[in-house]
Structure 1
Amino acid sequence: MEIAKYQGSGNDFILIDNRDGKVYTLLDKLGITIKDFVVKVCTFHTGVGADGLILIEEPKDRENDFSWQFFNSDGSVAEMCGNGSRCAVRFAYEKGICKEEVKFETLAGIIKAYVKEGGKVVKVKLTKPKDYRKVSLEVDGLKLDGSFINTGVPHFVAKVDNLENFPVVKYGRLIRFHKEFEPKGTNVNFIEPLDDQTIRIRTYERGVESETLACGTGATASALISYMEGYVNKRPVKVITKGGEVLLVDFDDKMEEVYLEGRVVKVFEGVLSYEILDV
Structure 2
Amino acid sequence: MSAIPFYKYQAAGNDFVIFDNRNGQFSFSAQEIARICHRQFGIGADGIMLLETDASTDFKMVYFNADGAPSSMCGNGGRALVAFAHHLGLFENSCSFMAVDGLHQAKVLGPNYIALEMQDYKDLLLADTHCFLDTGSPHHIEFVAQSEAVDVVQEGRKIRYAAPYGEKGANVNFVEVLGPKQLQIATYERGVENETLACGTGVTAAAIAHFLQHGPKAKGHHRIEVRAKGGELAVEFDYQEEIKNIWLLGPAQAVFQGQYFGLQK
TM-score (norm 2): 0.93
Q: Which amino acid aligns with 1:270?
A: G
Q: CA deviation at 1:232?
A: 6.8
- Residue 47 of structure 1 is matched in structure 2 by 42
Name stretches of at least 5 consecutive residues in structure 1 with no aligned partner: 25-32, 137-144
- Residue 273 of structure 1 is matched in structure 2 by 261
- Residue 98 of structure 1 is matched in structure 2 by 91
**1:9-88 alignment, distance < 5 Å:** 9-24=12-27, 34-59=29-54, 62-88=55-81
Residues in 2 aligned to 1:98 and 1:34: alpha-carbon distance in whole angstroms: 31
| SS of residue matched to 2:26 | helix
**1:183-262 alignment, distance < 5 Å:** 184-230=168-214, 235-243=222-230, 245-253=231-239, 254-262=242-250
The alignment yields a C-alpha RMSD, in angstroms, of: 1.5
| SS of residue matched to 1:169 | helix
| SS of residue matched to 2:173 | strand
Q: Which amino acid aligns with 2:194?
A: S
Q: CA deviation at 1:77?
A: 1.2
User: Higher helix proportion, which one?
Assistant: 1
**1:69-218 alignment, distance < 5 Å:** 69-118=62-111, 120-135=112-127, 145-182=129-166, 184-218=168-202
User: Higher strand proportion, which one?
Assistant: 2
Decide whether aligned partners of structure 1 residues 194 and 74 sit closer, same or farther in structure 2, where only a CA change above 3 A counts. same
Count of residues paired in the alignment: 257
Q: CA deviation at 1:179?
A: 2.0
Moved over 3 A (4+): 231-234
Q: Is the 2:61–2:78 contact (alpha carbons within 8 Å) kept by the matching residues of 1?
A: no
TM-score (norm 1): 0.88
| SS of residue matched to 1:175 | helix
Name stretches of at least 5 consecutive residues in structure 2 with no aligned partner: none
Residues in 1 aligned to 2:69 and 2:127: alpha-carbon distance in whole angstroms: 26
Deviates more, 1:85-94 or 1:156-165: 156-165
Q: Is the 1:129–1:152 contact (alpha carbons within 8 Å) kept by the matching residues of 2?
A: yes
